[in-house]
């Protein structure tokens, strides 16, 4: 009889998850950017018309993300069950915070009161943090559960929020746009640092080969288009180069695009399951069992030695 080891190894190897599709990714893509934008507008000090547009855009982004994930549910009208597990579920906490975000954001839009705008921004930060913890709470996906994913998701949400605010400021010619551009450069640099740290720590701690291949494969494009290009464009806006508003707009759009590209790749393309580890390869009869194997994973020691 032919040995079944190759077939067993294939069955035990990590598989790309299929439960969360593009709609779940859209919740992280839009929701994180919306939460970051609410925080950015709270402390930017831009004029009321531009601030109201930014607030409205932030709330719309969060609403779009939640609507997408609502349509992903097999039975959408059971969505209210999400509020039943506040003590244990970050999805529940995200849903509760979302209610407060819309309440404070709506009042801030109606009144324009500075205190309410700041409160909405703080709630936006709490929403962003809840989303980051949702991803990390999925223990079956090594690329998500790593502790370095939380600061990475926070950093990109803040950078995307500043990117959207830069777009609004450039469109309206708002005062303080130089300060916004400077903050944008700093947040893009911070995101680049957390991205590099995430990859290094994931390599060191181990992850499925296919997940590492996807993440490293997109890293150069993210570095060029999502980090270097927006930082240069925002720096040109700070320097007062000709076409300053256009540079600020370009920097904001590239920052948002880079973050959305990164999050989509992480949630959809790099989401490989843990797979199975076999303490020893089985053998028929009285043969000697084979060594321990973990299909789809490289040996950390072997990788470092190479």
Domains, the chain: 18-277+289-297 (1.20.1630.10)
Mean pLDDT value across residues 217-223: 95
| pLDDT band for position 79 (cuts 50, 70, 90) | low
> By the 8 A CB rule, do 166 and 249 touch?
yes
| pLDDT band for position 296 (cuts 50, 70, 90) | confident
CA distances from 120 to 111, 131, 208 (A): 13, 17, 39
Range of weakest confidence among 18-22, 34-38, 139-143: 18-22
Q: Encode pLDDT of 193-206 as tens digits.
A: 999 999 999 999 88
22: pLDDT strictly greater than 80:
yes
How far is residue 142's CA from residue 272's CA, in Å, rounded to a whole number? 7
Quick one: pLDDT at residue 250?
Answer: 96
- Model pTM greater than 0.85? yes
> Mean pLDDT for the chain?
86
294: pLDDT strictly greater than 90:
no
How far is residue 70's CA from residue 76's CA, in Å, rounded to a whole number? 6
How far is residue 266's CA from residue 20's CA, in Å, rounded to a whole number? 12
What the block records as the tokens of 133 is 């913890």
Residue 34: CB atoms within 10 Å: 30
CA distances from 224 to 97, 230, 255, 277 (A): 35, 9, 11, 37
Quick one: pLDDT at residue 216?
Answer: 95
CA distances from 204 to 191, 198, 212 (A): 20, 10, 11
Q: Which candidate, 275, 230, 261, places its Cα nearest to that of 28?
A: 261
């Amino acid at each position: 009889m032919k040995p079944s080891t190759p077939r067993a190894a294939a069955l035990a190897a990590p598989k790309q998850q299929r439960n969360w599709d593009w709609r779940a990714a859209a919740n992280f893509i839009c929701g994180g950017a919306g939460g970051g934008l609410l925080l950015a507008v709270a402390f930017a000090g831009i004029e009321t018309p531009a601030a109201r547009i930014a607030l409205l855009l932030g709330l719309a982004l969060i609403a779009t993300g939640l609507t997408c994930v609502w349509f992903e549910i097999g039975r959408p009208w059971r969505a209210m069950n999400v509020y039943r597990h506040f003590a244990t579920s970050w999805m529940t906490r995200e849903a509760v915070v979302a209610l407060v975000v819309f309440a404070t954001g709506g009042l801030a839009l109606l009144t324009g009161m500075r205190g309410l705008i700041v409160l909405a921004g703080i709630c936006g930060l709490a929403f962003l943090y809840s989303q980051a913890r949702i991803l990390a709470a999925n223990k079956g996906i090594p690329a998500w559960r790593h502790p370095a994913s939380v600061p990475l998701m926070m950093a990109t949400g803040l950078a995307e929020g500043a990117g959207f605010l830069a777009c609004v400021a450039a469109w309206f010619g708002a005062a303080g746009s130089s300060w916004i551009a400077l903050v944008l450069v700093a947040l893009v640099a911070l995101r680049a640092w957390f991205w590099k740290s995430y990859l290094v720590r994931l390599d060191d701690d181990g992850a499925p080969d296919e997940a590492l291949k996807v993440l490293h494969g997109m890293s150069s494009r993210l570095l060029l288009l999502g980090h270097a290009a927006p930082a240069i464009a925002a720096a040109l806006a700070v320097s007062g180069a000709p076409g300053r508003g256009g540079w600020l707009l370009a920097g904001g759009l590239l920052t948002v695009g880079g973050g959305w590209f990164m999050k989509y790749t992480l949630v959809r393309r790099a989401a490989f399951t843990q797979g199975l580890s076999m303490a020893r390869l089985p053998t028929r009869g009285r043969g000697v069992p084979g060594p321990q194997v973990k299909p789809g994973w490289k040996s950390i020691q072997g990788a470092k030695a190479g």
